[in-house]
Amino acid sequence: MFSDKIGIFLDRDGTIIEDRGYLSDPEGVCLRPGVKEVLKQLKAQQCLLFLVTNQSGINRGFFTMKEVQACHQRMLDLLEEDENFFTQFCIATGRPEDNDPYRKPSPKFILECLAKYHLNPDKCWMIGDRQTDVQAGINAHIHTIFLSQTERLHEATACCKNFYEVLDTLERYGVLSKLDKKD
């Protein structure tokens, strides 16, 4: 039996925070425009938020899991939230050539979260700025939003230029009730 919760799966780099390449310094963490307001509105509507991120820099020796966690803490500080803001952090550490079963576009993290939290795939969304993010969502049989200022991805359920458009899209698809937006 499914819960009535909505699951929102979010990529990190280029989606929630600016993509700075192999980020290991928390001082380099910068939220993308609209992220803070939109994520707080999603939480206010009782959505479960999941961070799903590929961090191959760990296996490449560029940084450690401790440094990734420090960057996540900085992100939470900027969001003015604690570690419970995200229902779960899903971090794939393998390189593309490692065949890491958790690395996007694999849906393994998403599928495990769907099962663990009894989420209905029809009520869940993957939001990301890369084709691998969208493909992970498609592979998990959930809806997808491709986030890009300049590109469109026809496989995605929807394409948005920014997080405010993400909120509008979720409202348009009936996922969320109409919300008061701040200008």
- Annotated catalytic residue 77: no
- Annotated catalytic residue 13: yes
Spot the catalytic one: 4, 13, 100, 168.
13
Spot the catalytic one: 11, 19, 98, 122.
11
SS (H, E, C) the chain: CCCCCCEEEECCECCCECCCCCCCCHHHCCECCCHHHHHHHHHHCCCEEEEEEECCCCCCCCCCHHHHHHHHHHHHHHHCCCCCCCCEEEEECCCHHHCCCCCCCCCHHHHHHHHHCCCCHHHEEEEECCHHHHHHHHHCCCEEEEECCCCCCCCCCEEECCHHHHHHHHHHCCCCCCCCCCC
Catalytic (active-site) positions? 11, 13
